């Protein structure tokens, strides 16, 4: 890239390829409309210039057919572009089931990344080529925006909630990573490098990071430290729901509604227990808002997720 001005950034993910087509489609449509309108303007200017002998009679004759035809044609054309774009946008938020979860926490002014095995990095993201990756984004302070132009992805990291998006890198190499939302003094320096590696190299890189505890193991320790196990543990005398097998299942709520137990639901259960109370249980769980940091939350969520594979005991 150095010293070279290019029209598009590198195309390094499956999604980026599709975005290029959409971009080309938008440009082609705009050029087509531009040429049509300006072409007609020039033709009419020449034909009806002062002193030309063109026929200027019958000016009041209306042809609604032409009117309806061009209105319908442009409507269909632009709705087609809309459907195309919306489809790509929805796809960005529907990760395949085998995607690896990587957590990213935005903070003034850095990106903190945690891999499922507990490996941590700052302002850097290592991913294997050809494998789907799902990012779970959160923020510790203000709104940041995680952007990788070479993958054509960008998503706000909003304090107080999880945002997800996914991608499959297709080209080995280093790419720039940015914060794309003005977030304070050092916003311009909040960025880093995404390194796409061969799966073998990536595995070696993970191993080299030292024997860290996995996110779920660290979460298990926090689960005891914050006293969650006192109510949710098997030996507890408090009437609280067991969390084994919770992840990914529909949960009946006291309000009569049903919620899906995903990252967001578990996070909200910890910070705002009153918002969605599990049916059949007293709303006695205290809120942990302000006590548990984003880093710790995602570990606890990873731990609860890891309980998901076990058989769910009868409630």
Binding site for ligand HEC (CB under 6 A): 226-228, 230-232, 238, 240-241, 243, 246, 251, 266, 269-270, 273, 277-278, 281-285, 288, 300, 304
- Strand pairing class (173-179; 124-128): unpaired
Shortest distance (Å) from residue 258 CB to ligand HEC: 11
Q: Are 135 and 165 in contact (CB under 8 A)?
A: yes
Q: Are 258 and 244 in contact (CB under 8 A)?
A: no
Give the residue, chosen from 125, 179, 292, 302, that forms a contact with Cu ion under the rule CB under 5 A.
Answer: 179
| Burial of 32: CB neighbours in 10 Å, binned 0-12, 13-18, 19+ | exposed
Whichever of 158 and 253 has its CB closer to Cu ion, that residue is: 158
Strand partners, 139: 106, 159
Say how far apart CA 256 and CA 225 lie, in whole Å: 33
Shortest distance (Å) from residue 286 CB to ligand HEC: 6
Shortest distance (Å) from residue 294 CB to ligand HEC: 14
Site for Cu ion in 208-267 (CB under 5 A): none
Whichever of 189 and 312 has its CB closer to Cu ion, that residue is: 189
Please give the distance of CA 272 from its chain centroid, rounded to a whole number.
Answer: 23
3-state secondary structure of 42: helix
Return the structure tokens found at 302.
């990873």
Whichever of 199 and 293 has its CB closer to ligand HEC, that residue is: 293
Given ligand HEC, Cu ion, none, residue 270, with its beta carbon under 5 to 8 Å by kind, binds ligand HEC
| 137 belongs to the binding site for Cu ion (CB under 5 A) | no
Given ligand HEC, Cu ion, none, residue 158, with its beta carbon under 5 to 8 Å by kind, binds none
Site for Cu ion in 141-170 (CB under 5 A): 144
Give the residue, chosen from 104, 113, 148, 183, that forms a contact with Cu ion under the rule CB under 5 A.
Answer: 183
Given Cu ion, ligand HEC, none, residue 266, with its beta carbon under 5 to 8 Å by kind, binds ligand HEC
Shortest distance (Å) from residue 305 CB to ligand HEC: 10
- Strand pairing class (120-122; 144-148): unpaired
Whichever of 115 and 144 has its CB closer to Cu ion, that residue is: 144
CA distances to 20, 151, 193, 248 from 8, rounded to whole Å, are 9, 11, 18, 39
Whichever of 183 and 216 has its CB closer to Cu ion, that residue is: 183
Nearest Cα to 212, choosing from 294, 109, 302, 138?
302
């Amino acid at each position: 890239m150095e010293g070279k001005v290019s029209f598009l950034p590198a195309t390094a993910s499956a999604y980026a390829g599709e975005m290029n087509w959409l971009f080309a489609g938008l440009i082609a449509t705009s050029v087509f409309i531009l040429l049509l309108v300006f072409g007609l303007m020039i033709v009419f200017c020449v034909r009806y210039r002062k002193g030309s002998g063109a026929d200027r009679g019958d000016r009041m004759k209306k042809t609604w057919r032409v009117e309806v035809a061009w209105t319908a044609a442009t409507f269909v054309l632009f709705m087609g572009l809309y459907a195309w774009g919306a489809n790509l946008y929805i796809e960005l938020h529907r990760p395949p089931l085998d995607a690896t979860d990587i957590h990213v926490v935005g903070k003034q002014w850095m990106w903190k990344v945690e891999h499922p095995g507990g490996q941590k990095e700052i302002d850097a993201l290592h991913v294997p080529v050809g494998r789907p990756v799902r990012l779970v984004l959160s923020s510790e302070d203000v709104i940041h925006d995680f952007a990788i132009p070479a993958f054509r992805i960008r998503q706000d990291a909003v304090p107080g909630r999880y945002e997800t998006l996914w991608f499959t890198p297709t080209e080995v190499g280093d790419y720039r990573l940015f914060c794309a939302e003005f977030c304070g003094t050092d916003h311009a320096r909040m960025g880093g490098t995404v390194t796409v590696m061969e799966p073998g190299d990536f595995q070696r890189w993970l191993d080299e990071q030292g024997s860290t505890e996995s996110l779920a193991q660290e979460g298990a320790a926090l689960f005891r430290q914050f006293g969650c196990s006192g109510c949710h543990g098997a030996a507890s005398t408090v009437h609280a729901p067991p969390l084994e097998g919770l992840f990914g299942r529909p949960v009946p709520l006291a309000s009569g509604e049903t919620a899906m137990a995903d990252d967001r639901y578990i996070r909200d259960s910890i910070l705002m227990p009153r918002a969605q109370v599990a049916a059949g249980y007293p709303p006695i769980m205290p809120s942990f808002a302000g006590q548990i940091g984003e880093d710790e939350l995602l570990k606890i969520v990873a731990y609860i997720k890891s309980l998901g594979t076990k058989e769910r005991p009868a409630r």
